[in-house]
């Protein structure tokens, strides 16, 4: 398909909410710079200042978008302070965000490249120290979606900030996963993939021991906490029609232990 | 207007909420398959698993869209179980949804045709049993919006599942309507049209007897429950600045009785 | 850039919420009339019937959009009553709204022109007295975005309705500003610009006396009420991670007094 037929896509992920004029301002700035841009809202309801959840959302959604897509992500409690502005390039897509861990999953990819963007030669109106999403990230996203090489906008760096504690820890027959996201139903998504699970396993979370995988949500036992491999391939903990987050009082980065249950041949 | 000037429209109606990456994933899949698609969000805040409300929204909104529009609707408590996937074609528009009653109003139209979609030859990545919206309905919607005939995707069926209890019952001088939707103000929308009302009538709902139609919401009596013919032509029950749903403790499919008040000539 | 490359933009600001089919109906009507229209949601979560907040949002966001943009704004408690329908034209942009104060800031501009739109020759389906957004404002917005001159749709007027009480009052060494918007964090935005502030000042609001401007939100004292010049250039009152609106029990149009603190040379 010709370049003309495929308009440039810019996705937006923020914690700005949908009530105010903040997201609209960003969209206006992008459309001024790049009238053909296709603006796709991913979420503006990332919990306020929750970089861990924002990082998960951006990384999950990007795999469904075509090469060339630019992902603009702003969860930025340190706006106006000295944190850097970065672009990550990975598999033909670009990600624009503050350097505060929001792009941790992308920075961690072996093939990704990270650029620090300095200065702000792109903005055409007076900038404010408190709205980098509008004054910095939006013009950068428009420039990238127009085909500008990130290397032309900044310098490559190797030390982008990453959220710590997201990795799975392995110890003999035990695996220590983490809760990395709660969806709006209160389901708890872990960083444990199906391939991480031994043939027979027990999951221990918040004092509860769970076994067995449901094939779909309708199969879930309403009175119990259930396990499923979710649509992204991760182990997810859920209760039908209830919030498992509230029921077990869970928080992000809580440990989810996977125990390898091997029956001794003499049993 | 030439086909090129009228880009294909796909509307989205779900109960996925706006916080997570689910809707964004669906949009990415559609844009990969059909970069020109115009994606129009109708609602992602259909109450969870509320097929009755979802059905109403899709049916109300479609009449304002041009011929050729594809409506993707996903309220799917049985995702991953054996419920079928269907396409309904009506007046040049196509509707894609699980076969769980979400398209009841469209299936009920005399001129509509229903197709069951089997298999999944459209998807280009590994599917999950728990996200048919992304893995099945999105590619089907993109194919239909590209001009694919639904008959090329599935087989015509006559037995699509329909929500029961939506019809008006008539008994002599009494009409039994139903509440079929609550808007976000808590106004209660019935399935009673103006033409269903006799010249003089009383409405009985939740023990309250109501008479008279307001011409607009500002005319409503703040202390009372009021009646109006709403912007879709349905009888609606409202209180200004209050939720009549909460005030009268109403639920979907509650009966709304219409009594024909004929004064005897001897009175 | 050629006209073809810059598709017409129509922004939408309402209090209709995102749950129902109301916004979707408006979008359908616009796309029927103008298939190329780019629809940009600004907010549909303006508090119900809150014209003051709606007016602020429309005025803040428009400056980031290109010339030619049409802004459709509907916060319309008097829908179906005799209030007029107007178009305001300002710096190459058009604003469509009920004549209830929603466009106060734009009407107030010296260079703006206001047109009353009478009749409804644009609509192609039966209209309802309760949904002017769909039946009047949407077709008007589509016509304007298509290039129709507002003077061809209505007659110029000089007496558009304006919200009163939005102006700053000056009295010797004291300035009386107002709270004109609360964002979704509960931060209170005033109509006081940096240029309105004397070199040394005290702000009095709800019995609290505040001094000093923070440079960014992260600098805010968590235990106190803080001041900042926000990203739109207005004095804003905030608490980090808390709602100052709730904490001080603030309301729209509350007075924010600015005292000029001049040390007498004899002190």
Domain map (residue ranges) of chain B? 9-157, 169-260
Q: Is A31 on the interface with C (CB under 8 A)?
A: yes
Nearest residue, CB atoms, A28 vs list C64, C183, C215: C64
The domain A9-157 is classified under which CATH number: 3.40.50.1950, 3.10.20.30, 1.20.120.530, 3.40.50.10790? 3.40.50.10790
Summarised one tens digit per residue, pLDDT across range B142-169 is: 999 999 999 999 999 999 999 998 989 8
Burial class of residue A110 (count of CB atoms within 10 Å of its CB; 0-12, 13-18, 19+): exposed
B30 to chain A nearest CA, in Å?
9
Assign 3-state DSSP to chain A and report helix, strand, coil percentages, each to 5: 20, 30, 50
Q: Is C134 on the interface with B (CB under 8 A)?
A: yes
Output DSSP code: residue A199.
S
Backbone angles phi, psi at B5, to 5 degrees: -75, -15
Nearest alpha-carbon partner for A80 in C220, C218, C212: C218
Residue A5, pLDDT > 90, answer no
Architecture of domain B169-260: Beta Barrel (2.40)
B125 to chain C nearest CA, in Å?
30
Summarised one tens digit per residue, pLDDT across range A86-144 is: 999 999 999 999 999 999 999 999 999 999 998 766 666 677 888 889 999 999 999 99
C-alpha atoms less than 13 angstroms from C-alpha of A222 in its C-beta half-sphere? 2
C266 to chain A nearest CA, in Å?
38
Tokens 């003077």 -> residue: C151
Query: Would you state the pLDDT for residue C261?
Result: 83
Backbone angles phi, psi at A138, to 5 degrees: -65, -50
Nearest alpha-carbon partner for A192 in A229, A223, A165, A161: A229
Per cent of chain A over pLDDT 70 is 93
Q: Specify which residues C106 forms β-bridges with.
A: none
> How do the pLDDT tens digits run along chain B, 267 residues long?
344 457 899 999 999 999 999 999 999 999 999 999 999 999 999 999 999 999 999 999 999 999 999 999 999 988 877 789 999 999 999 999 999 999 999 999 999 999 999 876 666 666 788 888 999 999 999 999 999 999 999 999 999 999 998 989 888 778 999 999 999 999 999 999 999 999 999 999 999 999 999 999 989 999 999 999 999 999 999 998 899 999 999 999 999 999 988 755 554
Give the residue with greater pLDDT, A267 vs C225. Answer: C225
Cα–Cα distance for residue pair C57/B179, rounded to 1 Å: 35
Say whether A18 and C43 touch across the interface (CB within 8 A): yes
CB neighbour list of residue A158: distance below 8 Å, 6 or more residues apart: A114
Tokens at B76, concatenated: 């799917």
Among A8-12, A186-190, B81-85, the least confident range? B81-85
Cα–Cα distance for residue pair A245/C192, rounded to 1 Å: 43
Are C250 and C209 in contact, with CB atoms under 8 Å apart? Answer: no
Per cent of chain C over pLDDT 90 is 80
Say whether A64 and B25 touch across the interface (CB within 8 A): yes
pTM score > 0.80 for this model? yes
Summarised one tens digit per residue, pLDDT across range A64-75 is: 999 999 999 999
Nearest alpha-carbon partner for B129 in C117, C59, A233: A233
């Amino acid at each position: 398909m010709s370049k003309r037929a495929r308009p440039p896509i810019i996705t937006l992920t923020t914690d700005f909410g949908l009530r105010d004029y903040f997201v609209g301002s960003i969209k206006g700035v992008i459309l001024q710079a790049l009238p053909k841009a296709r603006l796709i809202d991913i979420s503006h309801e990332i919990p306020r200042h929750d970089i861990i959840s924002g990082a998960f959302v951006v990384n999950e959604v990007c795999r469904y978008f075509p090469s060339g897509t630019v992902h603009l992500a702003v969860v930025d409690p340190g706006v106006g302070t000295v944190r850097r502005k970065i672009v990550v390039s990975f598999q033909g897509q670009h990600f624009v965000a503050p350097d505060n861990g929001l792009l941790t999953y992308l920075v961690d990819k072996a093939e990704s490249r990270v650029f620090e963007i300095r200065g702000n030669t792109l903005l055409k109106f007076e900038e404010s120290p408190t709205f980098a999403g509008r004054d910095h990230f939006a013009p950068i996203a428009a420039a990238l979606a127009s085909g500008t090489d990130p290397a032309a906008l900044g310098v490559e760096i190797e030390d982008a900030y990453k959220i710590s504690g997201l990795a799975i820890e392995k110890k003999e027959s035990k695996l220590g996963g983490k809760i990395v996201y709660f969806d709006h139903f209160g389901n708890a998504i872990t960083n444990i993939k199906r391939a991480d699970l031994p043939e027979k396993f027990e999951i221990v979370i918040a004092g509860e021991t769970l076994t067995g995988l449901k094939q779909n949500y309708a199969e879930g036992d309403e009175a119990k906490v259930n396990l499923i491999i979710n649509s992204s391939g991760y182990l997810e903990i859920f209760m039908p029609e209830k919030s498992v987050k509230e029921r077990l009082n869970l928080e992000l980065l809580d440990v989810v232990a996977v125990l390898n249950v091997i029956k001794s041949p003499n049993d």
